[in-house]
């Protein structure tokens, strides 16, 4: 994310001010960096709508549906808006860590140290280049997590309990899950208020959803955990393929209450952005990928707001 550059037009857009005001605060320049965003925030002091602390998990047991691309971009955009955001990379592939430009970074600890070796969350959290966006990075050391958790007492609740320590420090915790079914993902589900499930518009993804919903039902019955919101987000959509349109129709029919209206279209910028070590908003905020995640995020935030208004005690249900 070192190479992320902002134009004064984009900064003005983010803060809802004029380009002249940007220039008055930061000076007149062609390009600005992520640190300038922090400076501008301090000067402008525009409050964002408040949400009670929320933990949001991007999970699908199926691989390659866009969990990492969407979660890192979503988290980045939340931080741009002014929220305090913690990303947790749960995947030993470390893709979210790479997407946030920290793969070569000098971190030695991961979530493994918290859940297995009793390190604190704060000890393993690192800053990213974007002010307000912090990260618990991941690497191959995470790959034996399920084995290590297996003999432990309260093994499904380790992550939820560990995150209590930082509840007051973040508005949003965004978790990027690996495409596997195991104790770590069970921990993540138990810690989450909201589940965001990216699916591709094909019928294989559609089948994968059934397993996910069976698991969620199991959580409710066996571990008394109720997710507050489930959002299914169609990713990689290509309107010109009939099969894609049919898959979305099937999703709409079977999961009407969960399916988000906004879809994320196919966009090559996701791959280019992650190879540059930055989310799509940093790489090309004018791309359709960025526009679609913006719309998806606004829809998610709106639905959370409606849910909270209807259930004022809901924010306290996951403790």
Ligand X SMILES: Nc1ncnc2c1ncn2[C@@H]1O[C@H](COP(=O)(O)OP(=O)(O)OP(=O)(O)O)[C@@H](O)[C@H]1O
Binding site for Mg ion (CB under 5 A): 67-68, 95
Cβ-contact 85, 133 below 8 angstroms: yes
Cβ-contact 88, 173 below 8 angstroms: yes
Task: Tell me the torsion sign for CA atoms 259, 225, 193, 185.
Answer: negative
Q: CA-CA distance, 97 to 60, in Å (whole number)?
A: 18
Choose the stretch contacting ligand X; rule: CB under 6 A; options: 34-42, 58-66, 76-84, 148-156: 58-66
- Choose the one of ligand X, Mg ion, none that binds residue 64, judging by a C-beta under 5 to 8 angstroms depending on kind: ligand X
Closest to ligand X by CB, 183 or 267: 267
Q: What is the dihedral of CA 242, 247, 250, 256, to 10 degrees?
A: -120
Closest to ligand X by CB, 20 or 203: 203
- Choose the one of ligand X, Mg ion, none that binds residue 285, judging by a C-beta under 5 to 8 angstroms depending on kind: none
SS3 state of residue 261? coil
87 beta partners = 135, 174
Q: CA-CA distance, 151 to 195, in Å (whole number)?
A: 27
Closest to Mg ion by CB, 8 or 266: 266
Kindly tell me which residue out of 8, 34, 56, 68 binds ligand X, with binding defined by CB under 6 A. 68
Q: CA-CA distance, 77 to 79, in Å (whole number)?
A: 5
Cβ-contact 207, 174 below 8 angstroms: no
Closest to Mg ion by CB, 12 or 96: 96
- Choose the one of Mg ion, ligand X, none that binds residue 267, judging by a C-beta under 5 to 8 angstroms depending on kind: ligand X
User: Which string of x and - marks every residue 80-99 that binds ligand X (by CB under 6 A)?
Assistant: -----------x---x----
User: Which string of x and - marks every residue 259-288 that binds ligand X (by CB under 6 A)?
Assistant: -----x-xx--xx--x--------------
Q: CA-CA distance, 114 to 130, in Å (whole number)?
A: 24
Choose the stretch contacting ligand X; rule: CB under 6 A; options: 27-35, 65-73, 74-82, 113-121: 65-73
User: Interface residues with ligand X (CB under 6 A)?
Assistant: 63-69, 91, 95, 178-179, 235-236, 264, 266-267, 270-271, 274, 289
């Amino acid at each position: 994310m070192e190479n992320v550059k902002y134009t004064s037009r984009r900064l003005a857009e983010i803060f809802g001010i004029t380009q002249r005001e940007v220039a008055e605060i930061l000076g007149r320049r062609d390009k600005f960096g992520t640190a300038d965003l922090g400076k501008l925030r301090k000067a402008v002091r525009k409050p964002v709508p408040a949400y009670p602390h929320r933990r949001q998990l991007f999970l699908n047991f199926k691989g390659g549906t866009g969990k990492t691309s969407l979660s890192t971009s979503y988290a980045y955009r939340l931080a741009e808006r002014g929220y305090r955001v913690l990303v947790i990379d749960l995947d030993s592939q470390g893709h979210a860590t790479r997407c946030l430009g920290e793969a070569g970074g000098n971190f030695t600890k991961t979530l493994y140290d918290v859940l297995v070796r009793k390190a604190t969350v704060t000890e393993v959290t690192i800053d990213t280049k974007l002010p307000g966006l912090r990260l618990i990075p991941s690497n191959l050391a995470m790959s034996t997590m399920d084995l290590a958790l297996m003999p432990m007492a309260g093994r499904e609740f380790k992550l939820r309990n560990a995150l209590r320590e930082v509840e007051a420090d973040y508005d949003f915790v965004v978790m990027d899950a690996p495409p596997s079914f195991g104790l770590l993902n069970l921990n993540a589900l138990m810690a989450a208020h909201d589940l965001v499930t990216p699916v591709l518009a094909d019928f294989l993804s559609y089948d994968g959803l059934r397993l996910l919903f069976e698991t969620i039902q199991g959580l409710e019955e066996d571990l008394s955990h109720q997710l507050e919101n489930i959002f299914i987000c169609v990713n990689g959509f290509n309107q010109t393929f009939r099969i894609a349109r049919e898959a979305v129709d099937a999703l709409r029919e079977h999961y009407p209450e969960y399916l988000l209206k906004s879809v994320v279209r196919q966009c090559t910028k996701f791959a280019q952005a992650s190879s540059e070590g930055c989310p799509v908003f940093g790489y090309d905020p004018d791309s359709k990928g960025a526009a679609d995640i913006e719309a998806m995020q606004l829809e998610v935030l709106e639905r959370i707001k409606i849910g909270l208004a209807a259930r004022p005690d809901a924010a306290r249900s996951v403790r």
